Structure 1
Amino acid sequence: MSHTRREWFFALVLATICIGLLFLDLAPASPVTTGLHARALVTAVDNTDVRTNLIVKTDTQALEVRLLSGPHRGYAMSITNRLTGKMEFDEFYEAGAIVLVEYDVVDGEPKHGAARGHYRLHLQLMLVGLFAALLIAVAGVTGLKAALSFIFAALVLWKLFFPAVLLGFSPIPTGLAMVALLTASITFSIGGLNRRGVATFAGSMLGVLLTCALAYTFTHAFQLHGAVRPFAETLLYSGYYELRLTDIFIASVFIACSGAVMDLAMDIAASMEEIAQNRPNIGFFDHLVSGLRVARAVVGTMTTTLLLAYSSSHICMFLLFVAKDLPLANVLNAPFVAAEILNILVGSFGLVTVAPFTALVAALLYHLRGRRAAERGALVAPASLGGEA
């Protein structure tokens, strides 16, 4: 099978698996039943029952809407917008807004509607489409496989990993299995079923396993629990009292860095392949050293990537610490801050070590095969000389 055909074959396989995952439902049955959803236009607003305390709004906003989609398109109905006083969850609407409405059907008519936020689903879908189009335009078939890998990773987490944890599977081995599945599918899809793909997969998994071991060790050494993550306590109160939040936290550490680990492993494996192709007679040690030189340049920026990615999601928290002039010792010793420090540093361990892991595996793969080919050639040469004599 030619290289191009192989790439299209992988793209087709990934697309088929993604379609299958879309129809898979392993999530435990919820006692809460949801109604229908539709896009709606807010035609009138009644703020009589809304209570305002400084910048915080509570109680209920009454809305009149007209449904713009779904089986009851064109219907006018009254819905509620419950305000909890938490700005990260609440939205306040004005006439003319387009919102997502959840409602029940009573006697064939929509009833008991509630607002579920400004309607953003079409914009999200558009962003996904633009991202996929950009990948394909820049990288062709490889870009198509990258886009499919992106969708595949999201579906594996949503359709397999999250339901498995809710069903009682141990988060750490389940997380490792999911990372191995994602790493194998993505690296072999993008890198191919060759030494580059094998080196990327092996190097990535060695880095992830080290990250997992360090996360397990230091989470218990720091005496952290999984409730430091947002919504963890709410999850317990939703009926999942047996969930091991600490194990979920550990799994989140190595899952979070697995993408960057895979990226770095692919860089090193591709560099090792390029070196081998341009200098086929390079020795094992020189090949390994060349790969490590490339690794040094890449690792220097990748560790900063984790720091910026994790810390930027908590900018408001850090601003609050500075505004309150809290002692640095108090800040660093707080459980949620210690959890993020562990996340950054342990993830960085995985990133730093994946480079030499991948370089070593790639050097072994290229030179073991080269040695076997040389041995076969040495065996064939005497026989051919004897025939000529």
Structure 2
Amino acid sequence: MPGPTVSHGHGDTSAVDADAVVARRVRILLAAVLTPLLLLTLVGVVMLWPSHEVKVDALQTAKARGVVLSIAPCAERPDECDRARVKVTAGEGTGSEVDARVVKHPLVPRVQAGNRILMQVIPEAAADERYKYVDQDRGRPLLLLVGIFAAAVIALSRWRGLAALGALAVTAVVLTQFVMPAILAGGDPLLVAVVGAFVIMSVTLLLTHGPNAQTAISMAGTAGALVLTAALGELFVLGSRISGLDNNGASEVAAYVPGGVNLPSLVVAGLVIGALGVLDDVTVTQTAAVWELSAAKPNASRRELLAAGLRIGRSHVASVVNTLVLAYAGAALPLLMLFAITGTPDSYVVSLETVATQIVNGLVGSLGIIAAVPLTTALAAAAVAHRSGSVPSPRDAVDAG
């Protein structure tokens, strides 16, 4: 990352954490902002927690996994499909050998003997048509990748890396057991996403950085930036008249949820969740930067700390914003290539909902990141300015709050 940056927790900032002035100011922040916020988040989880099963019975189908023993062209349409002999390893018919129909497509890798595959089971169909090929079973390579990732994180960050993996697991649980079911149960998608984001933020920061003053400042900065991101997302999604129908699977979800789903709000919800991870990184870095600056100069005023922290934050924001925008652009790359092939004018392309949604996501998320830097830096500077009992000038005393 170009420009000056501050590592997370590499310097000796224990004197800053132990300072009585800093502790008093952080306690005020906890009492005035974070404790009410966490209580409201807990109330939100309780109120929004789904009270019934969200699965739609009509859409439930039996599934199976298996290993292909042999494969041959279909007798009736050899150019269009293959007939695979499969040993079922999990799901419906475990332990048996079955025939599965595999549709051929020039862009899809051919199924071969030895491949592990996923199948759909249609119990009412004829015996030779009961099992249908769905996709390759990618469980083993994905598990290998997860193992390599976890080992790399732990090798580099040790106990903190292990805590980060625990936070990642909690994030997955919150998304799958609360956010998605609560929306499917009829909850407002944006409200559910904001509550879920606060839960993820709190657990992630506390697990990875511990319950200390820096974490409290980072949580406050992240919460403020999240609220701003949600408000801007709602404003520009509605202002751009984005329907949300172009999101993958959105219209199908809305059709099966009792009372439907507010699809524009679902777009904003996705934006909030997508921006959260980057916001955490920015706020933690800015808080650590100000702590390091205070450790080097204990009697620094709030104005000095804020100015120095913002200088560090500028380069961080430039890199992070570019990362976020490129992530959204990468997701839309095949579609952009299609527009290039058809010669569609740029001014026309950017107004199409699919592209406009990505633009709103990228730019609103970036605005949230930009806002997080001065907000978190100001909170951190207010917490550590004029510590160590130095006597500030009257003007600096006002700055220090």
TM-score by length of 1: 0.79
Corresponding residue for residue 304 of structure 1: 322
Shift of 1:238: 3.7
Matching of residues 198-347 of structure 1 within 5 Å: 198-240=216-258, 242-347=260-365
Q: Which amino acid aligns with 2:279?
A: V
Of 115, 135, 156, 1:117 maps to: 135
> CA shift at 1:324, angstroms?
1.5
Q: 1:367 to 1:30 in 2, by over 3 A?
A: same
Residue 102 of structure 2 corresponds to residue 75 of structure 1: no
State the distance in 1 between where 2:242 and 2:214 align.
38
Q: Deviations over 1:229-261 (max 9, x none)?
A: 111122233455511111101111121111111
User: Which residue identity lines up with residue 114 of structure 1 in the other structure?
Assistant: K
After TM superposition, which residue ranges in structure 1, 4 or more long, deviate above 6 angstroms? none
- CA apart distance, 1:338: 1.2
Match of 1:224, as an amino acid? Answer: I
Counterpart for residue 41 of structure 1: 68
Q: Which residue of 2 aligns with 1:66?
A: 87
Asked if residue 167 in structure 1 is aligned to residue 185 in structure 2, the reply is yes
Deviations 1:47-66 (A, max 9, x none): 345586xxxx6xx6432212
Please tell me the residue identity of whatever aligns with 1:198: A
Task: Considering Cα pairs closer than 8 Å and 6+ residues apart, tell me whether 1 or 2 has the greater RCO.
Answer: 2
Q: Is the 8 A contact 1:103 1:110 kept in 2?
A: no
CA distance in 1, matches of 2:322, 2:74: 47
Q: 1:156 aligns with which of 174, 178, 196?
A: 174
SS class of match (1:227):
coil
Asked if 1:191 is matched to 2:212, the reply is: no
Report the CA distance between 1:113 and its aligned residue: 2.4
The answer on whether the counterparts of 2:243 and 2:263 sit within 8 Å (CA) in structure 1 is yes
Q: Distance in 1 between matches of 2:176 and 2:62?
A: 21
Distance across 2 between alignment mates of 1:344 and 1:210: 14
Kindly provide the CA deviation profile for residues 284-317 of structure 1, in whole angstroms up to 9, marking residues without a partner as x.
Answer: 2111111111111101111111111111122111
CA distance in 2, matches of 1:51, 1:348: 52
Counterpart of 2:211 in 1: which secondary structure?
A: coil
Worse-matched range after superposition: 264-273 or 35-44? 35-44
SS in 1 for 2:242: coil
Report what 2:366 is aligned to: 348
Q: RMSD of aligned C-alpha atoms?
A: 3.0
* Counterparts in 2 of 1:27 and 1:110: CA distance versus 1, 3 Å: farther
> What secondary structure, in the 3-state scheme, does the structure 2 residue paired with 1:228 have?
coil
CA offsets, 1:52-84, max 9 Å, x none? 6xxxx6xx643221234579655211123357x
Aligned residues: 340
Unaligned runs of 5+ in 2: 1-13, 15-49, 392-401
2:199 aligned residue: 181
How far off its partner does 1:179 sit? 0.5
* 1:336-372 Cα distance to aligned partner (Å, 9 max, x none): 111111111111100111011110111122238x48x
Counterpart residue type for residue 30 of structure 1: V
Residue aligning to 2:38: none
Change (3 A) 1:33 1:292: same
Change (3 A) 1:137 1:335: same
Shift in alpha-carbon separation, 1:27–1:295, aligned structure 2, 3 A: farther
Code of the aligned partner of 2:84: L
Distance in 2, matches of 1:366 and 1:105, equals 67
2:54 to 28, 44, 51: 28
Letter of the 1:180 partner, please give it.
F
Q: Any conservation in 1 of the 2:70–2:113 contact (CA below 8 Å)?
A: yes
Aligned equivalents of 2:114 and 2:160: distance in 1? 43
CA contact (8 A) 1:184 1:201 kept: yes
- Per the normalisation by structure 2, the TM-score is 0.77
